[in-house]
Chain A
Amino acid sequence: MNWLAPFQYPFMVEALLISALVGIVCAVFSCYLVLKGWSLMGDAISHAVLPGIVLAYLCGLPLAVGAFAAGLICAMSIGWIKSSTRIKEDTVMGIVFTGMFALGLVLFTKVQTEAHLNHILFGNLLGIEREDLIQTVVVSFLTLAMVLILRKDLMLFCFDPAHARAIGLSTVILHYLLLALLSGTIVASMQAVGILLVVAMLVTPGCTARLLCHRLDRMLVLATLSSVIASCLGVYVSFFINGSTGACIVLAQSFLFALAFVWRGRQSKRTTALN
């Protein structure tokens, strides 16, 4: 077996580069998502983008625009239903996102699109079209830039929203900004792992890093590192086992999380033994 074989194919090199880029965006954002406790929101929005994608296809718009709009509609309707009833947020999420996902599936089978349902659900990193590639890169850089510029405000919003308001920040704007960035991250990583597994990209790197460090800046670096390694490893392994690229990436993410979990367990055992 030739270990360097994947690098001889341009589509593999391209896939590695895109997965690394997506890995960075997801990792940075995942730190805030995990700290805010919005993992379920990530899951909800990633499913809810489907009808947006189909409608965008129908109208001839970039798929990213439709996905972004659907993601925001999902988040806003969750907020609206929650504030006007007594139903708990996770229940509202369950209703809204499954409803939107089902709508997407129905629309999809009614409208014969050229896009394959499988590609949207599970990603299509190896056969990515030029147009989708450009979209992914643009959305990735925009989202990443926004998160990095606003990282202090987002941290404060996650940590202590009451103080954020007290010093004059608008938590309503920050709330919807975080949701918009979440939608952006989902759109960016949709091509790589598909909307069904996106939530793993959005949660696992942040969790892995959180196990290992007690400072946000180190957490951001470590999450990025683990996410990029997992993404590239997933693509690389999928070449040899001829498996689904998205699933391989997510498996690699889970593997790194498991490593961190075991290492952390041994560390804390050692410190208790020392004490």
Chain B
Amino acid sequence: MILSLEASSVTVAYPNGHTALRDATFKLGAGTIAALVGINGSGKSTLFKALMGFVKPVKGQIHIAGLSVEQARKQKLVAYVPQSEEVDWTFPVSVWDVVMMGRYGHMNFLRIPSAEDKRVVSESLERVGMKEYQERQIGELSGGQKKRVFLARALAQSGQIILLDEPFTGVDVTTEEAIIALLRTLRDEGRIILVSTHNLGSVPEFCDQVVLVNRTVLASGPLEEVFTEQNLRQAFGGALRQFHFEHSTIQDHDGKTVKLLTDDERPLVFGKDGHLEYKDRSGREDLVNKRKEEVGE
């Protein structure tokens, strides 16, 4: 099986006549972290629902590893990590119980876990570093821990395509980095990770592909090609706040020592020719050298 995710001219309309998504086309190959970027109401969650088979496109097709959505669902290929707001955190279940839910599809109808199920759950908990919390009730965890529990459930399900909805809301920066590191290892195993977000600044930090949506797929492909100022302007319209350095009170002698602070979301920074700027130089030495060559230093 070669993993891939392919949507061709997918149109989704709801019974009340509202067309949430029109002619959406994109393709993702194995081993990628892709960001699904768009404003609220742009059709991000509709696209997720279509990928999970909750809504049927009135037109177009979705193929997951060459299978239909229904066949993929039977093979438990698609795992979903819900948004924090969707979960009832007072629900009387433990961390272990939640991760075990990932195995239900692999059990018989009585849902009695086998030794193998328990081993997989235990292993998944260890991978996300939540083994020592397995007896906790889920409400007794921090934002990042909660996220990791649901990631462990996706792993226990052996989901090859993992859909994450706004994974970094309510998560502090250190945990965010831990989760990103985990997502990278999952990518390196060949999984497809599709992250729905409107947090622009975090996208260049961990995604390699981008799908820009606004009622349709505006653009999709590698980060550097798609995540441009022009495309984002198209996706976000007037909903994007901007800070132009050249028009600001910052002067030449301030150099690069200007600090950018935001309350929660990471800022997205474009350089002079509209190319993406990253937070860390480390690991991106190639890019720094390339830029140096461009200006002939």
A residues adjacent to B (C-beta < 8 A): 35, 83-84, 86, 149, 152-153, 155-156, 158-160, 162-163, 165-169, 210, 213-216, 218-219
Contacts and interface: CB of A to CB of B under 8 A. Distances in A.
B92 A215 contact: yes
Given A35-B91, A149-B110, A215-B92, A162 B82 contact: yes
Given A156-B101, A165-B54, A215 B94 contact: yes
A156 to B, nearest CB: 6
21 contacts: A35-B92, A83-B15, A156-B104, A158-B91, A159-B101, A160-B82, A160-B87, A160-B101, A162-B80, A163-B80, A163-B82, A165-B73, A166-B76, A166-B157, A167-B104, A167-B105, A167-B157, A168-B74, A214-B94, A215-B93, A215-B94
A219 B109 CA distance: 23
A167 B86 CA distance: 18
A153 B97 CA distance: 12
Contacts of A216: 92-93, 97
B76 A159 contact: no
Contacts of A35: 88, 91-92
A168 B157 CA distance: 12
Interface of B: 15-16, 52-54, 73-74, 76, 78-80, 82, 86-88, 91-94, 97-98, 101-102, 104-105, 109-111, 137, 139, 153, 157
Given A162-B80, A166-B73, A214 B137 contact: yes
B150 to A, nearest CB: 9
A153 B52 contact: no
Contacts of B82: 160, 162-163
B117 to A, nearest CB: 12
Contacts of A210: 92
In this complex, the member of A163, A166, A167 whose beta carbon has the largest number of chain B beta carbons within 10 angstroms is: A166
